[in-house]
Structure 1
């Protein structure tokens, strides 16, 4: 049996700071995805919601919350949480139900109403969680963490502030062409350099904002797609939700052997690289088959890390791809054709779903002025706190 499932519909609520409930954003995205699929809510047999932990109990049971908002109709319901990887986990749960024959049509929804400023730890004390310890003991907010990665790239690989700025310039240019993006104007390298320092060396325009927004997908079996006359749909071919391999479980830095770990054979490469590697292996594809990629650009420097982690270049060569225009619109492998988080900001449970929405529109050839010519395959990639992998491969 084929492991492919069909993307029947994709929809989003525009990103911004709207000041309304996450339920409104998710319901709007769901309705847009259903309209795109040419289906009614009553046709959906299962709904999977990606949870938000910042919206109280309705956010913890997002699947049921969205089902209620759309109108109870008896659909199977699932709610999942995996921090920034929640959307990919939701897609994975929907795919499993379809391949198991439990449902022919599944609606996946994620939405968030993000607070202003840095994301604070949620869910109480977690002394075994390295990210909670980072926040509480070191006071290292996410921008500070991103800055440490940026400094390491500068020291080890020779990356420059100008390289980081060009990532923002590239993504802002794509976002200016996306009507769903929050920030829709081009940005110059000089504007990046002149923006306020948040965590040296990163400036304000090097770091993504927090946003409100929603995204949804209608997924179905290949048989159902054919029954609806859709002979060549965009297909999800792989979903990777792997976890780290001990001892490389906290920092993606070179291993330092000690007596406690010498008997353990670590997986090659970083945790982020293992996320993409699992997706490629399942899909039977490699980096050379990609037409485009959507990666989690929490900071400009981190996007360069993702180039290496998804295999677009060797370690330390990410900045070279930006300098040569390889990852820009019109380049050999455009990355973040949506505009990325640089243009959208973070709406945590929605973003991994939004990445697949962008792949869907690109692979259909309906992405308008940001269209990648003859797009045939793409990958999404991000990671959630506490060791959650997230990558999806879509093909046509």
Structure 2
């Protein structure tokens, strides 16, 4: 396979875009990526467009990408629309990478876009209450919540049942099982959230840009104990785009390249809850490091899918950035903060930067490209050489339905 390089990225601010739809947000991100790369629209050899909710929110179910990007001049070349839950744009980049690495295109575009804010309650429910998704998570919660019933909140914790989310219940079960097995504390989980909210104060594209200390995180409204509101990713609108090319094509463009050392996409599987070695994230990480010819110790900075604060702890352990059971301690010690041993979610993560479902994966990549170029401003990780994006989407059985890991290198 050929070496592949990122030559352009673009990203909108994440948050509420009341006057903009999916298509306009996508055009904003793609226009920025084209400018960053110095690539004209007719220079794109293949395009991959990820979206999850546009059908439910805006009523457009088919040919979303062609309708969105034809106005920019993207036409004639292969164009594929993708839905893969939170992994949508990660999968888009993976497919674009296969095209360029395999020699089928010299230049390819990946984009993810999402419009989730709406005043129409029925439309919002249509996105988050899909029948089979909800059933899978509900079955997991019904089966495994009793197994962690002995891990109880402190007496002062006030739980408002009206705030419950079935998806956060699933995260909470994993968190409580981890607390029992390894002694991870509520405060350590809060340290992850406080750290990510601090990072977001340095990211002008973040949905939230305010400091929240550990005490405030612990005192916030509880969604599903031990998860409080600041520990959970918000609903967001936004888009992100990435342009990649072969080594031979680099000389044609002006963008500062970043090399893709690994791109791995895997489905989850049926296995016992808590089986560390068979988890989708773990298996994806093993293959990604093998493909890259690297080890977890080589990683300088990571962006992981912190749909909840605990998810960050889980993923840094599953990917080998720290040993099993050490993630909470590492966060509490400052080891995952900017300036720490392995900075994680310096963008602010999903908890603070925001989580427009299908755009999340390429937002992670956008952040890593800035880090490896040394252009992330005050949040730049000094002398970063290798960056890793860890993303997951959907839920089937006891884990995510799909997992994707991308490893990048400064050149």
Q: Would the TM-score normalized by the shorter structure come out above 0.5?
A: yes
Give the Å deviation of 1:130. Answer: 2.6
Structure 2 unaligned blocks of 5 or more = 146-163
Counterpart check, 1:53 vs 2:31:
no
Distance 2:33 2:97 in 1: 17
Counterpart check, 1:388 vs 2:390:
no
Q: Secondary structure at the match of 1:95?
A: helix
Q: Secondary structure at the match of 2:76?
A: coil
Residue equivalent to 2:385: 376
Counterpart check, 1:79 vs 2:76:
no
Residue equivalent to 1:221: 246
Equivalent positions of 1:288-327 (< 5 A) are: 288-327=297-336
Distance 1:201 1:346 in 2: 20
Give the Å deviation of 1:66. Answer: 2.8
Residue equivalent to 1:209: 234
Contact 2:299–2:386 at 8 Å: present in 1 too? yes
Residue equivalent to 2:151: none
Distance 2:375 2:217 in 1: 31
Counterpart check, 1:287 vs 2:296:
yes
Give the Å deviation of 1:124. Answer: 5.6
Give the Å deviation of 1:167. Answer: 0.6
1:159-211 alpha-carbon deviations (Å, 9 max, x no partner): 11211111111111111000110101111112112211111221111111010
Contact 2:114–2:359 at 8 Å: present in 1 too? yes
Match of 1:273 among 262, 274, 282: 282
Give the Å deviation of 1:134. Answer: 5.1
Q: Tell me the C-alpha RMSD between the 2 structures.
A: 2.5
Residue equivalent to 1:257: none
Contact 2:137–2:167 at 8 Å: present in 1 too? no
Question: Which of 307-316 and 54-63 deviates more?
Answer: 54-63
Residue equivalent to 2:260: 236
Contact 1:134–1:140 at 8 Å: present in 2 too? no
Q: Relative to structure 1, is the Cα distance of residues 66 and 127 closer, same or farther in structure 2, using a 3 angstrom cutoff? A: closer
Distance 1:105 1:346 in 2: 27
Residue equivalent to 1:100: 102
Counterpart check, 1:336 vs 2:345:
yes
Q: Secondary structure at the match of 2:248?
A: helix
Question: Which of 42-51 and 290-299 deviates more?
Answer: 42-51
Q: Secondary structure at the match of 2:12?
A: strand
Contact 2:137–2:166 at 8 Å: present in 1 too? no
Residue equivalent to 1:261: none
1:285-312 alpha-carbon deviations (Å, 9 max, x no partner): 1101100100001111111111101101
Q: Relative to structure 1, is the Cα distance of residues 311 and 212 closer, same or farther in structure 2, using a 3 angstrom cutoff? A: same
Counterpart check, 1:130 vs 2:141:
no
Q: Relative to structure 1, is the Cα distance of residues 67 and 136 closer, same or farther in structure 2, using a 3 angstrom cutoff? A: farther
Question: Which of 270-279 and 118-127 deviates more?
Answer: 118-127
Q: Secondary structure at the match of 2:14?
A: strand
Counterpart check, 1:10 vs 2:34:
no
Residue equivalent to 1:27: 27
Structure 1 unaligned blocks of 5 or more = 255-266
Contact 1:51–1:60 at 8 Å: present in 2 too? no
Residue equivalent to 1:186: 211
Distance 1:98 1:234 in 2: 15
Q: Secondary structure at the match of 1:55?
A: helix
Q: Relative to structure 1, is the Cα distance of residues 228 and 72 closer, same or farther in structure 2, using a 3 angstrom cutoff? A: closer
Distance 2:183 2:60 in 1: 46
Distance 1:75 1:142 in 2: 39
Question: Which of 96-105 and 360-369 deviates more?
Answer: 96-105
Contact 2:336–2:343 at 8 Å: present in 1 too? yes
1:249-269 alpha-carbon deviations (Å, 9 max, x no partner): xx4x14xxxxxxxxxxxx934
Equivalent positions of 1:160-179 (< 5 A) are: 160-179=185-204
Q: Relative to structure 1, is the Cα distance of residues 129 and 200 closer, same or farther in structure 2, using a 3 angstrom cutoff? A: closer
Q: Relative to structure 1, is the Cα distance of residues 141 and 129 closer, same or farther in structure 2, using a 3 angstrom cutoff? A: closer
Contact 1:308–1:317 at 8 Å: present in 2 too? yes
* Alignment coverage as a number of residue pairs: 379
Contact 2:141–2:170 at 8 Å: present in 1 too? no
